[in-house]
Structure 1
Amino acid sequence: MATFSSLTQNHLLQAVAEYDARGEEEFLAVHGFEPLPAYALVHQGQSYDLRAVVGVAHRFATGRLATAEEFASSMDVVVTILRRRGFGVTEPAAAVRTPTRSGTSRTPARSNAGSTRPRPTATRARTREEVPPAICPTCSMALPATGRCDDCG
């Protein structure tokens, strides 16, 4: 069972870069994924096969390629992680969930199917860039918040 919480934005960007370099068909074939048109990862206006990109990013994070079968029960978790890492995700309309007061999710009812009124957009907090820690030039250890190495002074 794959745990996708180990994925960072850098792992996902590596997978997207490989996807761009190889092209969609070769990327999917090399890693053994079938296209999943219902879900797409969106980055800089481009759409990518979500399962394939996350599977390869999982390999960058853990050394093991996540298989398509591992996504079956954890797609909601994967979508949440991707959004927290700053990526857009398109998903099928039936899969969109809204939280209820009890904390569980439910599928929204479609009462205004013919409505042309635009949906309100939610504002999201900006994601923080992952900044590598400062390194001591003498001993190559990560510096504490003070900026002075504990070992070298």
Structure 2
Amino acid sequence: MATFSSVTQQHILQAIAEYDDRGAENFLGVYGFMPSRGYTLVHDGRTYDSKAILGVAHRYATGRAATSDEFHGGASGAAAILRKRGFEVTEPEGAQRSAVASRKAAAPRKAAAPRKPVVPEREAPVCPTCFMTLPATGVCDSCA
């Protein structure tokens, strides 16, 4: 099963460019994908097969194209990943997003709480004679 965490927006744009260069039929044939029956990626006014684009984007990210068998279906699969990367994905006629997905899409995002700055851990003082860590008193137990 492929993981798509390494796929970035740039990898998806590279796959779109290859799709445009090869043409839809050739692109799908080379990578073994069937034409999309549902979710389609929309970019610059053109539509693309969402699973095929994401599968080839996976190739650009990892060196291995993901196959159609490695995708979850529907709105929680390729469509969700592409949306997270900032792309528009259309839904098939009559498709309904889950109640959770609808609420997430409709709910405004809360601003993230500011994080505390990372303070590096203080280095423990070391005895210059025996190189042992000094106790809180600052006097070496071995050399004193």
Q: What is the TM-score when the length of structure 1 is the normalising length?
A: 0.61
Measured in 1, the distance between the counterparts of 2:43 and 2:107 equals 18
Runs of 4+ in 1 over 3 A off after TM superposition: 72-75, 121-125
**Which residue number corresponds to residue 69 of structure 1?**
69
Aligned pairs for 1:4-153 within 5 A? 4-72=4-72, 76-92=76-92, 93-99=94-100
Task: Go from structure 1 to structure 2 and tell me whether the alpha carbon gap of 1:67 and 1:74 turns closer, same or farther (over 3 Å shift).
Answer: farther
CA contact (8 A) 1:4 1:78 kept: no
Identity over the aligned pairs, expressed in percent? 55
Cα RMSD of the aligned pairs, angstroms, is 2.6
Q: What is the TM-score when the length of structure 2 is the normalising length?
A: 0.64
Shift of 1:122: 5.8
Measured in 2, the distance between the counterparts of 1:20 and 1:49 equals 12
Of residues 60-69 and 75-84 in structure 1, the stretch that sits farther from structure 2 once superposed is 75-84
Measured in 2, the distance between the counterparts of 1:59 and 1:124 equals 34
Task: Go from structure 1 to structure 2 and tell me whether the alpha carbon gap of 1:124 and 1:39 turns closer, same or farther (over 3 Å shift).
Answer: farther
Task: Go from structure 1 to structure 2 and tell me whether the alpha carbon gap of 1:56 and 1:124 turns closer, same or farther (over 3 Å shift).
Answer: farther
Say which one has the larger Rg: 2
Q: Which runs of 5+ in 2 are unaligned?
A: 110-144
Shift of 1:75: 5.6
Shift of 1:91: 2.0
Larger relative contact order (CA 8 Å, sep ≥ 6): 2
CA contact (8 A) 1:58 1:66 kept: yes
Measured in 1, the distance between the counterparts of 2:73 and 2:47 equals 23
**Which residue number corresponds to residue 112 of structure 2?**
none
Task: Go from structure 1 to structure 2 and tell me whether the alpha carbon gap of 1:95 and 1:69 turns closer, same or farther (over 3 Å shift).
Answer: farther
CA contact (8 A) 1:43 1:88 kept: yes
Measured in 2, the distance between the counterparts of 1:19 and 1:2 equals 21
Q: Which runs of 5+ in 1 are unaligned?
A: 100-104, 107-120, 126-153
SS state at 1:65 partner: coil
Measured in 1, the distance between the counterparts of 2:96 and 2:6 equals 24
Of residues 10-19 and 23-32 in structure 1, the stretch that sits farther from structure 2 once superposed is 23-32
SS state at 1:89 partner: strand
